[in-house]
Amino acid sequence: MAVSIRTRVLILVGCFALMAFVVTGLGLLTIGDYNRMMKQYDHAYDHAWRGERFNHLISNSVMETRGIYIARNPQELTGFVTSLNRNLDEMQTLLAQWKADATPAEKPRLEAISGQMAGFISLRRQVAHLATKGDVEGARGLSDGNRADRIAFQAQVDTLVQGTQKDLIVAQKEADTYSKKRAGDFLLTALLGIAAIMALSLWIVAHFITDPLKKLAAAIIKTSKGEYDDMPVAESEGEDEVSSVWRALAVLKERAIEAEQLAAAKAQAEHEKELKLREILLD
């Protein structure tokens, strides 16, 4: 059954709406993936920053410890002790936050340095305590005796920092790759969608609107010229607007033929009547 021109136009509009829906869906998917990747990137960045900061605090603690050994007066000594304890406090806070935000895959690496950090902090606090009591040599001896453990601890932290930097690089590359790929997907989808919609639009307009109207216009012109034999009346069984006009044109054709036949019959009767009248006059 033929559909109306209105329905055909609505189908075309629906195709455009479908295209818009696909593009919107792709956009929403892209936003969701982008947010997820940005969270991963932010997490990797925070992870790398904490690693660098943790390593920096270890180096600062070592430098403050050495400052205790060379302090020239009690004021300098107090300043180095205060800075050392502040660095140790920040290390504890930083690692606690780091472990709280870590993923399950990251926690084993943090747990591996957690025990060594506890020993490092405990020894440095003892050094600070001895120095405060005036036993700087005892503090130096305690620190020197633990130098190998401190070097091993810092080496393990360095390894952790390198791992965080690699994670950050991987996250950045993944984001860049995704950005380029999704840009290509958008371009390809847009081009294919536009080409498909244009082809479908041309087909719908030509097959369901333009061609039927051209046939109808040609039939109307032939009817106006009285060329009934060359005017096929087609597409009259549907319920659309074009079929309605075809049916009306068919009725118009029949009435026009009937009118011409009546006119011809009337003309013939008048001609015969005129001939009889002439015969009477001639007789």
The type of residue at 22 is V
- pLDDT band at 283, cuts 50/70/90? low
Q: Looking at residue 282, what is its pLDDT?
A: 65
Return the higher-pLDDT residue of 74 and 228: 74
Q: For 236-271, give the DSSP string.
A: -SSSSHHHHHHHHHHHHHHHHHHHHHHHHHHHHHHH
pLDDT band at 87 (very low <50, low <70, confident <90, very high): very high
Amino acid identity of residue 235, one-letter, is E
| Mean predicted confidence (pLDDT) in 255-272 | 78
Please say if the pLDDT value at position 234 is more than 60: no
Instruction: Tell me: pLDDT of 83 over 90.
Output: yes
Please name the helix (run of DSSP H) or strand (run of DSSP E) that holds residue 20, with its range, or none: helix 5-69
Question: Is it the case that residue 48 has pLDDT exceeding 80?
Answer: yes
Q: Which of the four pLDDT bands, split at 50, 70 and 90, describes residue 233?
A: low
Assigned domain for 282 exists: no
* Domain-embedded: residue 251: no
Mean pLDDT in residue range 98-117: 84
Domain count, the chain: 1
CATH code for the domain in which residue 12 is found: 1.20.120.1730
- The C-alpha atoms of residue 181 and residue 187 are separated, in whole angstroms, by 10
Report the percent of the chain where pLDDT is more than 90.
6
DSSP string for 72-93: SSHHHHHHHHHHHHHHHHHHHH
Could you tell me the CA-to-CA distances from 193 to 20, 30, 85, 205 in Å, in that order?
Answer: 9, 18, 65, 18
Q: Please answer whether residues 200 and 15 qualify as being in contact, where contact means their C-beta atoms are separated by less than 8 angstroms.
A: yes
The reply to whether 107 falls in a domain is yes
Please indicate whether residue 224 or residue 118 has the higher confidence score (pLDDT): 118
**Assigned domain for 141 exists:** yes
What value does the mean pLDDT take over residues 58-79?
89
CA separation (Å) from 228 to 1, 152, 201, 236? Answer: 27, 106, 34, 16
Q: Is the pLDDT of residue 102 over 60?
A: yes
Q: How far are the Cα atoms of 16, 129, 130, 146 from residue 139, in angstroms, in the given order?
A: 79, 8, 6, 11
Q: Is residue 88 part of a domain?
A: yes
- Tokens standing for residue 216: 């109808």
The whole-model pTM stands at 0.58
Residue 2 pLDDT greater than 60, yes or no: no
Structural domain boundaries enclosing 118:
8-197
Distance CA 230, CA 251 (A): 16
With the CA atoms of 55, 60, 66 and 67 taken in that order, what torsion angle do they form, in degrees rounded to the nearest 10?
180
Q: Amino acid letter at 137?
A: E
Assigned token pair, 230: 């060359």
What value does the mean pLDDT take over residues 38-45?
81
What is the pLDDT at residue 236? 57
Q: Are 8 and 204 in contact (CB under 8 A)?
A: yes
Domain presence at residue 80: yes
Helices (H), 133-240: 136-145, 147-204, 211-225
Q: Can you tell me the mean pLDDT for 71-92?
A: 90
Angle between helices 136-145 and 107-132 (to 10 degrees): 160
Look at residue 192 in the predicted model and tell me its pLDDT: 82
Segment 134-161 mean pLDDT? 83
pLDDT at 89: 93
On whether residue 246 sits in a domain, the answer given is no
Percent of the chain with pLDDT over 70: 92
pLDDT band at 157 (very low <50, low <70, confident <90, very high): confident
227 assigned to some structural domain: no
Q: For 183-227, how does the pLDDT look when each residue is reduced to its tens digit (9 = 90+)?
A: 777 778 778 877 887 887 788 777 777 777 787 777 777 777 777
